[in-house]
Amino acid sequence: MLMAAVVLSACTASSRVVKVYEGDTLDKSQVAKLVTPEDIDVIEIDGIKQKEYVLESMSLTYDLLPGEHVVVYKYNGLFSKVRDSNDADAPRAELIQSEQRQVKFNASAGQTYNFNFKRPGSKNEAREFVETFQAAIVTESGRSVAKDSKYVKPATIVSPAQTPAVTAFPVASAPVATTAAPAAQTAGVAPVDAGLSRLDALKVLWGKASAEEKKEFLRWAFQ
């Protein structure tokens, strides 16, 4: 029997579905579903980087093709923070993250899988929890199908065509001709908001911001 402290997330209508395969959308009986709670951040699936979402408190359901999959993820807990001063700009939340973990499991069509782990009950517990964070993949009935392990970055293989040739003798350096830099390179760089209204400039900056920068901005905006 699973204890109340163990997270066993269920696929609900509020869970956003992410299709992790190419081609037409398949019937639910033809795919496997991996449900992640709001405090699990999936980074890669089968070596493919997954999209980051601005809203962290969001449950996601990944639709997978049947077969073996490798999932890279981390714990990502957001806790309220008591201000130490009257500084209005002081952050009201603290993000506590674990190191990356990975799990390999064989998914069956029509099955739903969940992350199973003990969730910390407080911010102090979370700080200790992330040091030894571990999770397992379980079926809807609670049967464990795989346990995670420490993330190991795949080795980069360099093909012979990419390996630079090595000479066994010194080569005299040819004189380098000095050419005038193109005007486009020497011209000053115009600011992002040049000729734009403040609203349009903000839209441009938002489009160029990373997911992490957007998260930090939203935390600040809603303080």
Same domain, 61 and 144: yes
Tokens standing for 32? Answer: 């496997």
Which amino acid does the sequence have at 134?
A: Q
Bigger pLDDT: 48 or 11? Answer: 48
Q: Which of 118, 150, 182 is the last residue of a domain?
A: 150
Same domain, 143 and 216: no
Q: Where are the beta strands (DSSP E) in the chain?
A: 6-8, 16-19, 32-36, 40-45, 48-49, 60-64, 67-80, 93-97, 101-107, 112-118, 136-139, 144-147, 149-150
Q: What is the pTM of this model?
A: 0.64
Q: Is the dihedral of CA 79, 85, 90, 96 positive or negative?
A: negative
Is 140 domain-assigned?
A: yes
**Distance between CA atoms of residues 60 and 47, nearest Å:** 18
Per-residue pLDDT reduced to its tens digit, 59-106: 899 999 999 999 999 999 988 887 666 766 767 788 999 999 999 999
Q: Which of 92, 120, 150 is the last residue of a domain?
A: 150
Range name among 7-16, 59-68, 75-84, 167-176 with the lowest pLDDT average: 167-176
Same domain, 33 and 103: yes
Give phi and psi for 221, each to the nearest 5: -65, -35
Is 89 domain-assigned?
A: yes
For residue 216, what pLDDT is reported?
74
Is 223 domain-assigned?
A: yes
Average pLDDT, the chain: 79
- For residue 105, the enclosing domain spans 6-150
Range name among 37-41, 58-62, 181-185, 202-206 with the lowest pLDDT average: 181-185
Is 98 domain-assigned?
A: yes
Per-residue pLDDT reduced to its tens digit, 132-158: 999 999 999 999 999 999 999 887 766
Q: Which of 150, 184, 205 is the last residue of a domain?
A: 150
Same domain, 43 and 124: yes
Bigger pLDDT: 200 or 52? Answer: 52
* Contact predicate 102/152, CB 8 Å: yes
Is 133 domain-assigned?
A: yes
- CB pairs under 8 A, 24+ apart, for 218-221? 218/54, 219/91, 219/92, 219/93, 220/89, 220/91
Is 161 domain-assigned?
A: no
Is 213 domain-assigned?
A: yes
Per-residue pLDDT reduced to its tens digit, 71-81: 999 999 988 88
Task: Provide the domain count of the chain.
Answer: 2
Residue 84 half-sphere exposure, CB side, CA atoms within 13 Å? 0
* Contact predicate 179/20, CB 8 Å: no
For residue 218, what pLDDT is reported?
72
For residue 10, what pLDDT is reported?
42
Is 19 domain-assigned?
A: yes
Residue 206 pLDDT > 50: yes
